[in-house]
Each structure stands twice: as structure tokens, then as C-alpha cells.
Structure 1
Amino acid sequence: MRIVCVGGGPATLYFAILAKLCDAGHEITVIERDPEGATYGLGVVYWDDLLDMLYDNDMESARELRAASVLWQDQEIRMRSTDTAYFGGYGYSTTRAALLDVLTWRARELGVVVEHDREIVTPADFSAIAGADLVVAGDGANSRVRQMHSAQFGSQVKVGGNPYIWLGTDKVFDSFIFAFEETPAGWIWFHAYPSSREISTCIVECTEQTWHALGLDSCSDSDGIRQLETIFAKALDGHSLISQSRGQSARWLRFVEVSNETWRHENTVLMGDAAHTTHFTIGSGTRLAMMDAMALSHCLRQHEDLDLALKTYDERTRESLRRVSASARSSKAWFENVDRYADGRDAVDFSYAMGGRSGYQAPWRYQIYRATQNAVLRRIRRAANTGERWVLAHRRGERWAPRSRMPALRTS
């Protein structure tokens, strides 16, 4: 089968890997518009559930990804730089550049052709891939392939209300941090996590009203970064924010929610952000994109008939995403009304409200949550998490001191 994947992100690269493992006879080409080594965004987060699936599907790339990742433990919710509440748990994070390096290396090792610096934009570009048996569109939230057939996909695009900016910092956190600061103009906050051993990802967000009142809509890029460094000086321990990516300053954005009535049109299927986006506050975008890749690969392996395989992928995967999408919309709406929940509350009350932003929580859970703010209980919980992490890592065959087979990874 001749397969063309448009877009060189985690979804299409991982699908190419799995499809090639399923049948080495597939002729697979991944087409990416950006030059090799260029990528937007700093970090991605994931948890044991994704790592388990990656090890099950391809241990080689899973081991390389884990070796390129850092561990963070616990979540801290800081308010006004003086009040802190805690959630338990742990997760992993890496730079987007390192993730793409791992997947590109593994895809090429298996015989996938990965082309960079090539766009699919004009009718001639689309004609060049029209002869493929299967076209996988994973070219992001602004997918040109999806736009070409938007009526057939039943595409809908909605723009969120809160401005946000995706930054980095040379402050290396060891936990997942939410820092909320109250200014005369309103609340502004970031969530941050380590991306590597040198930098952390730091996503700053606020309401549009606060954004305008602080002058962030009209000041220069450098002045805006300096103002954010001043607002978050204590949370950053005086460290700097990093705005430059690919030689350009980061821009304030608004979240784009993409949905489609179907992910399949003739021999073309959508995947990852081209098919669906979930708000970054639930941290599931990369996980869901790679799960799309697993789902399509499984359907192709399960059904010899391509039409039936694509139909099954479309129906099953869209249905499995329904609850996650609803949770993400609720999370986005909650953060668009942060001032309502933050005013007059301490960090414990506020963080409990934040933890329940996507659904009902039984009243008795609040008392348990307050009890787990105790330092001794937090240490016990962290020790239990460490034990759980060791068991899961041992079960999936994770190496404690892995030797990479890859060239040196990029960390930024």
C-alpha cells in the first residue's frame, strides 16, 4: 500500500512507524512543511498510561523517548506567591524537538521516507499525492488538507476567549507548577513543567480584559516579557523567561477548538490536531494524537478492506474521544472564568475547585484533600507514587540506565 502522511508531527510519524512494523511492504512518505530540526512549542507532558501503550506498540522508540524525558513529581498550586496547595501524582516531560527526533529517527530506521521543507498547498501539490492508496492528514489545527474538504468533513473551528503565550524559562522546576498572581488589572497565571534538564515550559494565560488592562496587547515583545518576569518574579525565583523560538518571538494566541463530524473522506483520514484539539490545560494533546496513530494502525491490521478499516477508525476513535473533549471544553471554560473562582479564596479551596473543574466531586473528598496538605502525608504519598512508578516501569520492561542508539538529541 502507498501511504502519504501530510504533516510531520507526533501523530503521523508514529502512525508511519506502526504501519511499517505491521507491513514492511508499505511505501510510506511523511511530508513536513518545516525544515528539519525546526519545531514550534517547547515541551510536552505525558503519563504512565501513554508510556505503557508506547512500550506495547514499539519498544525501540518508547525506550528512546523515556531516555529523553525528565520526571516531575507532585503538583503545586501557588496563589499570590504566598500561599501553596498540593496535589499528588507524577508524570514525564520532554521537549517537542526531542520527541520529533526520536520518532523521525525510528521511522527512517524502518524505511519510512521523511521529507522536510515541502508544503501541500496548491492544487498541483494535492495532485502529487492523489495517487496514494491512503492519505493521512496530520498537519495541525490549521490543516490545509482538512480545509480542502471542510464541507465533507463537517469541520467546525471555534476560537477561545483567553489570550495565552507559550514560553520557556531557565528555571528548572521539579514539579508541575500552577502560579496565580493577582494584579490590579485582574488575575494572570502560568502553568509550568520541566522540559529537559536545562529548561522548563511555561504557558502564561489570562482573561482578555486583564490582557488589555496590563497593556500586553500593545507593548513590544521585549517589554511584555519583562513585565511577565516582574509579575512572576517570586514564582520564577528571579529566573528569565525565554521567548525566542526558531529565531522569532513567541506570540500571544487564542486556543482554536477543532471538531469534525467525520474524520474520513474517501481515502483521506484526519489525525491529531487536524481532527480534534483539546485545551492545553488538560495536557492530553500529544497523548491523544499518538493514540489516533495506534487506532488507525490497529484498524488497518484488523481489516484487509481499506474502506472498512477507515470506516472503523472514524467511528471508534471519534466516539472514544467524546468524553475527553467534553472535559477539555469544561476546563477551558473554567480558566476563562478564573477571577470568579480565585477572588476571596485561599490556595487549598481554590485548587480543590480547579481539580473538580471537569465534573462532580463527592463532598467527602474535600476533607480528604485538606488532610493531604499535611507535609508528612505528602511525603508518604510521594513514596507510594515512587513505588507505583517502579512497579509499572518494571512491568513494561523499562531500563533504568538505558543506552541510546540515536545520535545526540536536541533539548530545545
Structure 2
Amino acid sequence: MCVKVACVGGGPAGLYLSILLKRQDPAHDVTVYERDPEGSTYGWGVTYWRGLLDRLRELDPGSARAVEEHSVRWRDGVAHVGGLATRHHGDEGFGIGRHRLLAILAARARELGVRLEFEHPVTGANPPAADLVVAADGAGSALRTHHADHFGTEITGGRDHYVWLGTAKVFDAFTFAFVETDHGWIWAYGYGFGPEGSTCVVECAPGTWTGLGLDRADEAEALVLLEKLFADVLDGHPLSARSSGRASAAWPVFRTLTNRTWSRDNLVLLGDAAHTTHYSIGAGTTLALEDAMALATALRERDTLPDALAHYERERRAALLPVQSAARLSAQWYENLPRYIHLPPEQMFALLGQRHSPLLPHLPPRLYYRIDRAAGRLETLRRVKRRLGPVIARTVQARRLAAGDGRARSGRPDAVPAHRG
């Protein structure tokens, strides 16, 4: 459908869309414009799950193999609460360095004939000339902001402050660490993304942030304090930040972004430019890539550009509803941490895994835990029943047949063996 496509933003969404479009039709003229130099990126690692990897394999096996080869895996989750710890076995998760993911996607795009224009900023006043312009330029999208009234952008700020850091410590599981201070609790999420290190996101309530002086500390002072607070889980490894200036600039509150509509004429929003979900559910990169998949499919299957963009938006809005709900509930769980933190670690960790439940905020935590455990036992019994049901049925049937054979031999259908005494 589209002959010339301009993707503004060289993140995962823009790069993967360009790959899919060239695979669908090599004749498409696709250019990706990125304002930063090649190889530079913010953040550390990203997470994803098996379902995304399966879809990547279906759509572009070559890049999927490279992504999997450069990813680390985990199945366990570990929670450290004060001096106590608990470990749970769960689903397989993956982590990959953001810089590595972008390098893989950029190399694949070039291989397919996509033009990559780095250090090429695009503003709303100077959009590229193309049949389709894709705003994949992040939550602060210049293209979307230029038409903010049309898109109906709404931004809602969260309560807690957070900072995105890296560490040379390679976590062997998805790690949660909760530390109590004189000013309240502060916590970290840590996950490995390669042999070089892990992502470490630190979060705390506003009172804890100001009480610890993090609002006034410069970057070096903040890192020293955080290394001391999380020394047990870091095993002496340092924390690193890529920001500059005062740390207060690097401790924002999370901003949830939504838009009333996702397209305007030949301009369409993709990834964080269209929507954001709280980082605690680890879905940002997955959602961006799924946006690219849906948009590429709509452009291939629909007859006109307006129809394709409308279909893309409908499909992705429907898919996002449960994810956005889970993200809101997840953020609220952490904002209400004192409600759960004094439970025994295994109970607290179980409710951490249930934080997406809309029922959890409305029941006493211990009661919810007992109900969840009882439901889990019932489900286990159901699974055992489903598994053993056919075996039991076959056994019963065999016994009935054997009994029937005996009755047939005796000539009496109700005959029973004679008592020998």
C-alpha cells in the first residue's frame, strides 16, 4: 500500500516496523530517522517473555535468532526484605541490553535495504515527505506534540520517584530488594541483560526521597547512598548512571500517557508515542514491537491508508486494555507497599506476584493470601483430576470388562464368585 515510509525514531518500534515493511515488499522505500548518534541509547537492559520471542521467530527468524542468542534467561524470582529472602520458580523470562537489541535491529534493517539516518532530528514543523510518517519518537514525541490538540494527549503523573541505573552485578534471577530506612522503605528491581551487568531500577515514596536527601544530592552522592542501602544484593558491585548534572533531574515520577486518537492524515503514532505503561510490569519494549507488528499487518491487508490506520488503532487499543489495567494496579501496589511489606516474605512475595489483581486492594492481605492459596490447591486438584481422569476411566472400564467376562463364562450376568471356606 505505502510506497514511501518515514519512521521517525530509531528505537525498537521504528526499526522493527522498517524490517517488517521491507520483508513484506522489498520495493517499499523506507527510511528511519534518529536524532542521536548510532550506538548511543538511554537505559540499560529490557525484558521480554517467551510469547514475544515466538512471534519474532514467525515474522523474521534471522533477527529473532540474534536476539535470543544475545539474551540472558531466568526462571526464578527472588525477594529480599530486610535480612530475609525468598525465592520462587516461575515462567521463563529474558533480558537483553538495549544497545545490543538496537544494534541487531539496525543491522537487519540495513541488510534489507532500509536507510538509517542518524543524528537527524525531526520536529513537528519539518516532517519528512512520505506517503506514511510514523511517529516512533518516544513519550516526548515531537511529531505528536506539534499536533497535541488533535491527538488529545493526556499525561498522568504517578506518586513515587524512580531512577534507572545499571550495575556490574549480574543477577541470576529477577531480583526485588526492599530496604527499610528511618524515612520509609526504598526498593529496587534488578535483572541481568548480559555478562556485562544488570539493570537496577530504584523507587521510593516522596517522603523517603526527600528524607534521604536524594532530592538534593548530586549524582555521585546519590549513587554512594544507594550502594550502601543495597550492599547486600549488589555484593559490593557499584551502581552506574548515564545521566549528568544533579540527581534530582534523574528521579522523575512515572508519567502514564494516552491519546484520544493515534493518527492524523498520513501521520501515525507507534510505541511510547501512543501509550506508556508503568515500568514495573516490564512490557514497554514488547508493546512497542507488537505495535510494529500490528501496523505492518494492517498496511499489508487493508486497501487504503485510512482503513489500515483505523484498523491498527482498534486492534492495539483492545490488546492494550488488560495491560494498562495491570500496569495501573502494579504501580498502586508499590505505592501502598506498607500494606504488604510486614507480611512473612513468602506471603509478601506471593502478593507481589498477584499485584495485577483488581480484588487485592479491597481485601485484607492475609485473607487474600489464604483465598489465593486455597484456590491454588483447588486448581492443582483440578489439574491432577484432568491428568488422572482418563487413566482412572480406563482402569474402571477394564475391571468392568473383566467382571463381565466372568459373568459371561458363568452364564449368569449377576454371578459372583463362590466363597471358598
What is the alpha-carbon distance in structure 2 between the residues aligned to residue 197 and residue 90 of structure 1? 18
Report the CA distance shift for 1:69/1:245 in structure 2 as closer, same or farther (over 3 A): farther
Q: Take 2:323 and 2:178, find their aligned partners in 1: how far apart are those partners?
A: 25
Q: Distance in 2 between matches of 1:193 and 1:35?
A: 27
TM-score, normalising length from structure 1? Answer: 0.85
1:93 corresponds in structure 2 to: 95
- Helix, strand or coil at the partner of 1:234: helix
Identify which range, 177-186 or 236-245, moves more after superposition. Answer: 236-245
AA of the residue aligned to 2:131: D
Question: Counterpart in 2 of 1:405?
Answer: none
Give the AA of the match of 1:259: T
Aligned match of 1:29: 31
Q: In the TM superposition, what is the alpha-carbon distance from 1:240 to its structure 2 partner?
A: 1.1
**Cα separation, 1, equivalents of 2:337 and 2:164:** 19
Distance 1:369 1:237, change over 3 A: farther
* Aligned counterpart, 2:313: 314
Matches within 5 A, 1:258-273: 258-273=257-272
Distance in 1 separating the partners of 2:78 and 2:135: 37
Task: Show the counterpart of 2:335.
Answer: 336
State how far apart, in whole Å, the 1-side matches of 2:82 and 2:106 are: 42
Structure 1 residues 352 and 56: CA distance shift in structure 2, 3 A: same
Equivalent residues in 2 for 1:252-331, closer than 5 Å: 252-331=251-330
Q: How many Å apart are 1:245 and its aligned residue?
A: 5.8
Letter in structure 1 aligned against 2:66:
E
Offset, 1:37: 0.8
C-alpha distance in 1 between matches for 2:207 and 2:30? 48
Mapped partners of 2:177, 2:287: distance in 1:
26
Shift of the alpha carbon at 1:78?
1.2
Which residue identity is paired with 1:88? Answer: G
Between the aligned partners of 1:253 and 1:246, the Cα distance in structure 2 is: 14
Tell me if the contact between 1:38 and 1:246 (Cα under 8 Å) persists in the aligned partners. Answer: no
Secondary structure, aligned partner of 1:132: coil
More displaced 10-residue stretch of structure 1: 159-168 or 360-369: 360-369
Residue 10 of structure 1: aligned partner = 12
Partner deviation per Cα, 1:346-403 (whole Å, 9 max, x = no partner): 2112112212211147855325879xxxxxxxxxxxxxxxxxxxxxxxxxxxxxxxxx
Gaps of 5+ in 1: 371-412
Take 1:248 and 1:84, find their aligned partners in 2: how far apart are those partners? 35
The 5-angstrom pairing of residues 35-114 of structure 1 reads: 35-114=37-116
- Could you tell which deviates more after superposition, 315-324 or 29-38? 315-324
CA distance in 1, matches of 2:376, 2:337: 21
Query: Counterpart of 2:231 in 1: which secondary structure?
Result: coil
Question: Is this contact kept in 1: 2:219–2:244, CA < 8 A?
Answer: no
**How far apart, in 1, do the equivalents of 2:211 and 2:296 lie?**
49
Give 1:341 deviation, angstroms.
2.1
C-alpha distance in 2 between matches for 1:85 and 1:2: 51
Provide TM-score, normalisation by structure 2. Answer: 0.83
Task: Give 1:365's aligned residue.
Answer: 372
Q: CA deviation at 1:236?
A: 1.1
Match of 2:163 in 1: 165
How many Å apart are 1:246 and its aligned residue?
A: 8.9
Determine helix, strand or coil for the equivalent of 1:37.
coil
- Counterparts of 2:329 and 2:124 in 1: how far apart (Å)? 38
The amino acid of 1:97's aligned partner reads: H
CA gap of 1:369–1:197, structure 2 versus 1, over 3 A, is farther
Query: Is 1:184 aligned with 2:182?
Result: yes
Task: Show CA shifts across 1:266-286 (max 9, x none).
Answer: 111101000000111000000
Q: 2:75 touches 2:173 (CA, 8 Å); kept in 1? A: yes
Aligned-residue offset at 1:339: 2.2
**Paired-residue identity, %:** 45
Indicate whether 1:174 and 2:172 are aligned.
yes
1:146 corresponds to which residue? 144
- Residue 153 to residue 172, structure 1, CA distance change in 2 (3 Å): same
Distance in 2, Cα, partners of 1:191 & 1:90: 17
Partner amino acid, structure 2, of 1:239: H
Q: Distance in 1 between matches of 2:85 and 2:73?
A: 25
Q: 1:219 to 1:164 in 2, by over 3 A?
A: same
Where 1:36 maps in the other structure, the secondary structure is: coil
RMSD over aligned Cα, in angstroms?
1.9
**8 Å Cα contact 1:85/1:347 also seen in 2:** no
Counterpart AA for 2:327? A
Deviation at 1:227, TM superposition (A): 0.6
Label 1:194 to 1:323 Cα distance change in 2 as closer, same or farther (>3 A).
Answer: same
Distance 1:253 1:9 in 2: 21
Comparing 238-247 and 38-47, the one that deviates more: 238-247
Who wins on radius of gyration, i.e. which is larger? 2
Report the secondary structure of 1:30's partner residue: strand
Distance 1:90 1:77 in 2: 17
- In structure 2, do the counterparts of structure 1 residues 60 and 4 end up closer, same or farther at CA, with 3 Å as the change threshold? same
